[in-house]
Every structure is written in structure tokens, then in C-alpha cells.
Structure 1
Amino acid sequence: MAGDSTYAVQDFLEALTAQLDRTQDSLALKAVNRPLTYAIRDFSLSLQVFVELSDDGQVRFRSSGPSETGASTVSIGFTTITRPMIEENTVNLSDAKSPSLDELGLAPQEQRQLERLGVRNADQLRKLNSSSGEGALARFADVPVNRLRAALQAGSPSVRQVAPERPPTEPVPPNTEQEVRVPAGTRRLRLDGRNLGALTDGGSARLDGIGVPIVAATDDHAVIDLGHLEASGRLELELGDGVALAFQLRPETAQVNGLQADRGPS
């Protein structure tokens, strides 16, 4: 590596561990013919580098040149980690599906301030805001309260439309503006929107005052099981974060342009 080039710490470590992973994977093939072989027991290295902080908040290393003095000695030691240890000490992949801080409209500097508190997406921001309060969060993150409120609002659940869930064998038409009806015998309704992944735990639905379960939810849609109830009447949804919606379901014979929705109390 040229002496005048810099590289991010995580890029260096990820490249090095990727090569170590490939070395370990080759052992599985080698063991076919050799039941006893050799593997790396411990791995460590020392780097003579200049440590710099870039404008985007990244710590970067620059290799020292042949005649340069004053470089820092950075020692890095590696140890092994198993899958259960990874699952116990890292973020669950399902939690990472939440919208990123960039998608919430936060500026790069605001994102870096929140990342230092372990916040990288909408779910983590909502969780920390609930436990600490927006005032404390704003002070520690050095992000104005109004900016945090706007970000939380952008990450709140919303519904674009309500439509009967079609059988798996029936192709789903393109997402276009169209008339929506509820056919007779409909037993499930699909909600299309955003930030809906947590509805199975924190949301609720009622049809004419009778609770109906939300049986499935991803970031962009959720499914309500009506059971024995007829798909007709007032459908009320509690989406969390103070978002409440109501829809009037009508039988297929009713000529309506979609489902008329009115926003309930927030």
C-alpha cells in the first residue's frame, strides 16, 4: 500500500478477516483427505501508521513512508467467535429492516451523532426515545428536538390502502390506482404501507368493535384475519406511535372508488 494513501479501519479489518475466513473454509475441503491438519491458533499484527480523522467522522490509517517518523504503533489481536456468540452480541437481521437514519431525513452530521449512541435505524431511534425521553436524547445526541420529532414521524407506520388478500396462486396486479372492492367470502385483508413490521406485536385491529388478529407483518404490508366475520363494516386500526385509522368496508356490490379512510385520534 502506498505511503501517502489512507484507508478506513473497518475496510482494513473486513478485508483481512475475509481472507482469514477463506483460509478457514479451505480446512473443510482439506479435512476430506487429511483428518489431522494445522490451523491458526492466534493472530496478531502491529501497524506503523498515522491515525487521521476524516471530515465524515471516520478514523483512517495512513501507512508511514520509508523516511517518515512519528508514526503510531497500532496492535491488533484476533480471536475466534462462534455463531451463538455472534447472534448473542450483534443486532438481529430482522431489526435492521427498519428505515435507515438517512431515509428519515436526518443530515449526515445528525446521523453520526446518533450512531455514536448506537442508533442506526428508525426502530432503534424509537426504542431509545421511549426509554430516555426526547429531551435527554436530544441533549446527548446534540440533535434538536424538532429534528428528532420529524425523524420519528417519518418512521411511524402508515397505510396506503386496504385490499382483500388474494390466494397465493392468483397473480397480484401492479400497484396502480384502481377501484377497490371486498368480494363476498373474503377472510383476509392486506394492508399496504410502510413501517408496518411491528404490527404483530404493537398493533391492533377491530371490525365493528370486534378484535381481529394481525397474523403477519413486514415493513411494507400486513395481513388481517377476519375469521368468521363478514368483510363489511368499520375497520379500526391502531398502528402504534399514536397513529389510528378507520376504514369503511363495503360488499363488492357497492360501487366505491377504493376504501374511504378517515384518520382517528392521534
Structure 2
Amino acid sequence: MKLAITGKGGVGKSTLSAAIAQHIADQREVIAIDGDPDMNLAGTLDIERPAPITRETSLIEDRAGSSGGLLQMQPEVEDVLKDYSVPFGAAGRLVTIGPPEGGGTGCMCPENNFIRALVNQALDADDVIMDMEAGIEHLGRGTADDMDAMIVVIEPSRASIETAHQIQSLANDIGIDEIYGFLNKVRDEAEAELVREQADIPIIETFGYDEDVAAAGLQGTSPVEESEALRAVAVDVLDAVSE
């Protein structure tokens, strides 16, 4: 299963990504990619965060070139997934992309080429979970064909619904046809139905406000370990997108 999970900030992308990745990792090999600049996935999995790839400037320059210099359009990254990742579960590995390091300093082509090559390399695996920011910068037409689905996490707010619409449009532009919504933090069925009507995305699962997830956030522990309901809904999501 290869899933990209996205949505507005704070809606629970990392929580859902971690729950799905942990479930797969307990059974077979999976690569989890933290593509959100906030880099929350390691903490949500309760493991050490690997070094963010975008901060490995020497590595990127060595493999992909430097701004203003000769660029390598297809940098060698086969070893990076192993050397710059950390294990989790029985058979998972997490790699963290990190925020752009050169904002406002000129062309980001070497970094972008390197990250795109790294994502492409990861997608050679059978199971990949990508925790993404609201944009889809790490996915292009070449990688979109390898994704089984994109899941947009939506909470009951107008801003979250509008972000979901924007993501759906961007995903369609690059050829991702399987786009689903995961409705999170709902208080009752009436609220859930209102969001379903406005989101205009097939909602595959609905998850209410969970006290165990909230407590884990306050205590700094893993919501995956603390919430049985979260673990169960992760299985339901995988079943839904596999149908």
C-alpha cells in the first residue's frame, strides 16, 4: 500500500500517518516519509527523529550539485533511505525530509531534485506512507502513478474543507485519481454529515474526538500506543482503500 496523507495543518495528519505506518510495520516492511516541514511523525511514533535530509547540505551538493553550478538531474540516492532513516516497529523505517534550507537564497533546484529522487526511490518499496504538508510538492507526475491513493484529513472547519478542495484540485492535476477524505475530531453525526456535504470528497472513515489521543498530545506520548480506537481506525482506513 502506498498512501500520501495530507490536509490542513493541525488536523491530525501525523497521527493518522503514524497509526497506519505502525500497523503495517508490525507485519511487514514499510517506509514512512515525513514530508511535513513541522516534522512531527517521529514524535508521534515515539522514536528518535532521523536527521532531516534538507539539512544534509554537503550530501545534497555532492549528489545533486549546487545552486549556480552543474546540476545532476538524477542524483544517486539508493543508500540514503538506509543511512538516513531510523527503524520503528518490527519492520518499518522512517526518513524525514525536513523544511527547505535555502528559502530566499536563490534556486532550490539541487535540493528539489534530490528530494524528488529520494521519494521516487522510496516508492520502489511495496509499502510507503507519506505524511505531507497541505501542498504536494514532493509528488510530481512521475511519482503520482506509483501512489495507490491520497487521503485528505479534514476536521470540522471551513478552512480545513477549503484546503481539502485545493488539495483535490492539485492532486487531479498530476494524475492522482484515488482521493479520499478522513473526517477527524467530529463531535456528532450531524456535524459529520455537514462536513461530508461540503467537502465533496468521498469520506472513507470518520473519527470522533478521542480523549486518549488528546491526552497523549499533552503528555508527549505516542497517540498510537495510547489509543486503541486510533489503532482500530487505521486498520479500517487500510481496508477501505484496498477495496
Where on the TM-score scale, by shorter chain, does this alignment land: which range? under 0.3
TM-score scaled to structure 1, two decimals? 0.21
Q: Which has the larger radius of gyration?
A: 1
Greater share of helix:
2
Greater share of strand:
1
- Identify which of structures 1 and 2 has the higher relative contact order when contacts are C-alpha pairs closer than 8 Å and 6+ apart: 2
